Structure 1
Amino acid sequence: MALKSIIYKADLNISDMDRGYYADHQLTIARHPSETDERMMIRVLAYAMYASERLEFGKGISDTEEPDVWEKDYTGAIRLWVEAGQPDDRRLLKACGRSEQVLVISYASASDVWWKQMNSRLDRAKNLKVLNVPAAQSQALEKLAQRTMQLQCTIQDGQIWMSAGDMSVQIDPETLKDFG
């Protein structure tokens, strides 16, 4: 018998002073049985960082043809493709061919090893950006995961604060590769 996804609900309040974006989003997040709370919260972080009217969660782990988070324009063209974790170079190069911009948010202690292997293979991808969330910060973010969440995200000067109740996590993503 196949295991089903676990459904999480999040009320996400975003105050992004860097982009001038202020909004509330009611999110339904399907966590794949093989996905950890840490990875799921990295997807929520990605959503908060790039939130827009058309941004939505993709099937990610469940479907190799969809990212974790994406934004399509009104014609169906993919504007932003977001991957959480450490995807392989073939998947990323394929995504770069299908989307205007591709973003990877890596996390965990093995990110350095992964990036050393991927860096030269992905150098030619001009529409790819790679960020790394330090392992201690992604593990702290994981502790905010609840089946029903009230999250606040504040972004200012590249620094991100994610909080729920009396718990707050500071996230300082490191840019490993920028667009261009």
Structure 2
Amino acid sequence: MALSATIYTINVDLANVDRNVYEQLELRVARQPSESAEYMLMRILAYCLEYTDGIAFTQGVAAGDEPAVWIRDLTGQVTGWFEVGAPDAERLHRGSKRAGRAAVYTHRDVTQVLGNFSGKSIYQAEQIPVYAFDRRFIENVANLIERRCDLGISVTEQQIYVEIAGQSLNSQIEEHRINN
């Protein structure tokens, strides 16, 4: 019998000064059995940092050909494609071509992630940002996430601050570009 996803309910107080986005979000996130806590956290961060009308989680690692997070307009057309971790270049190519706007949020070694894209054909590769965070920051926040929790996320000048379980953690959001 296959294991089912664990549902996390996360209340987010989001203040993204860089994008002028201030929201109270109640997220229900399905964590698949094969999904690490760090990967799930990156999906949450991608969702919050890209937050706009029409944003949604897909099924995560169980999504097949879908990204971790996407944005759809009122007609159902995909307008934003957001991958997490170390996505396949071909998949990023398809997503960028389909949505017109794509980004990667990684908790992995960014040099290795960018190296995996080197020499590969990716639609509008130079326009796709790859966002990386301090790996200890990701590990520490991921270890504090519980099935029900409150998360305060503030972003200013490409610095992210997270309040969780009485602790304050922060990281620079490093933006890299794919050079093909």
TM above 0.5, yes or no, is yes
Give, in angstroms, the shift of residue 120 of structure 1. Answer: 3.5
Q: Secondary structure of the equivalent of 1:19?
A: coil
Residues 69-119 of structure 1: per-residue CA shift (max 9 Å, x gap): 1110111111111111001111110111111211101113x4322322313
Closer, same or farther: CA 91–22 of 1 in aligned 2, 3 Å: same
Does the CA contact (< 8 Å) of 2:96 and 2:123 recur in 1?
no
Distance 1:2 1:94 in 2: 30
Identity %: 27
**Match in the other structure for 1:111:** 110
Distance 2:110 2:127 in 1: 20
Q: Secondary structure of the equivalent of 1:175?
A: strand
**Match in the other structure for 1:54:** 54
Q: Secondary structure of the equivalent of 2:155?
A: strand
Q: How does 1:29-178 map to 2 (within 5 A)?
A: 29-108=29-108, 110-121=109-120, 122=122, 124-177=124-177
Distance 1:124 1:80 in 2: 14
Q: TM-score, normalised by structure 2?
A: 0.91
Matched length: 178
Q: TM-score, normalised by structure 1?
A: 0.91
Q: Secondary structure of the equivalent of 1:143?
A: helix
Unpaired runs of 5+ residues, structure 1, are none
Give, in angstroms, the shift of residue 127 of structure 1. Answer: 4.2
Unpaired runs of 5+ residues, structure 2, are none
What is the aligned-residue RMSD (CA, Å)?
Answer: 1.9
Does the CA contact (< 8 Å) of 1:100 and 1:127 recur in 2?
no
Q: Secondary structure of the equivalent of 1:163?
A: strand
